[in-house]
A and B are shown apart, each in its own frame.
Chain A
Amino acid sequence: MSKLARTGVWPGILLAAGILAVCLVLALALGPAPLSVGRIWSLLFAGPVKGDLDNAIFWQIRMPRVLTAALVGAALAVAGVILQDLFLNPLTDPYVTGVSSGAALGATIGIVLHFSNLSATTVLAIIGGLGTLVLVWMAARRRGRIDVFVLLLAGVTISYLASAVVTVLMIKANQDMTQIIYWLMGSFSGRGWPDVTIALITIPFMALPLFFTREMDIMLQGEKRAMELGVEVERNKRMLLVTAGVLTALAVSVSGIIGFVGLVVPHIVRLLVGPGHRGLLPVSLLAGASMMVVADLLSRTVIAPNEIPVGVVTTFVGAPLFVYLLRRGRRA
């Protein structure tokens, strides 16, 4: 038991929330278009005003982008925690379920069909992601039970299949190749309020597992033991899988495939607050949001007016931090 677990989870949660607040303020205050702190303060209280360029930069470009990044980061981190624990596999990230590849296929179809309306592509990505979840689910269901190992393998297989179809589409419609590649790389560039609206749907799905932290703790000891201890394993598993799948599908559909956050944030948080879900889930949620917001801030400011793909930044920021914590964790 770590120290935090003994003193309760609230100090950790409050600290993570504080860090997220600082990250949000920084991300809103800094950007490639220089706006002074005083200007931002007045813009914040002015609310969205039409016809003012600074106002448009702050309210129409920066704000929705930062909020989308925060929600996507949080959703991926929560999905990562759930899936790592369900599969009892530390290498699991939200993308192994194949949901992200399905979403990528949906988005690719949208791009290839030239839907001028960009949110149509987002909706197709959600349909692709959730459709894959249903397929994987059907593959893994046997006599009313979900076999997590079959689910894992089915997810990986379907994700290869979807990637193959994406590749074929890319070759067939190679005028759109660049657009598809950029979508796959993931980005928050140009995300507006419609994207925030979609990302907001993740909130109830992020909140749901918070009510099942005790069951999740017990299920860490294996399905058999959990059943002996009176946990309704199948029902919880179903609920958690659908939650993680929906979170991944929504996150991927607005941002593309951004690696590392869903894999590493849960591990980092586990090292800091321990494996108990009452602390792990909320702190991962907040830390995922912070990490994505900071990564996006760096991606749009470091070489402005160009942008670094955000997935590259998450890896550069996350990898050294993770290795440091792993080594420190070993010594302790």
Chain B
Amino acid sequence: MKITRGVVITEPGSTALEETGSWRTFRPEIRYEKCIRCMICWNYCPEPAIEKKPGENYPVANPKLIKMEVPVINYKYCKGCGICVNECPTKAIDFVREEK
């Protein structure tokens, strides 16, 4: 850990160092075989902790969608608010309790 005296921050981007994923109680998990890659979850994520990734290597609900990008959750920053779970039109996101 590196701190400064008096909490003076001289470089930008320090917020990215705070891994807010540690706040999570419930963890959203995308079941790609039900995901229609509509990106509504990506749109609603307030963090944003959902990223767009190339979709070729993910399971797919309909082979016609294979070329489309998929939403991928970045668990480093996902606080587990559950908005994506609530918004998903195909109920493709499970919300499971974090357990270690």
A binds B: no
Chain B contact residues, CB within 8 Å of chain A = none
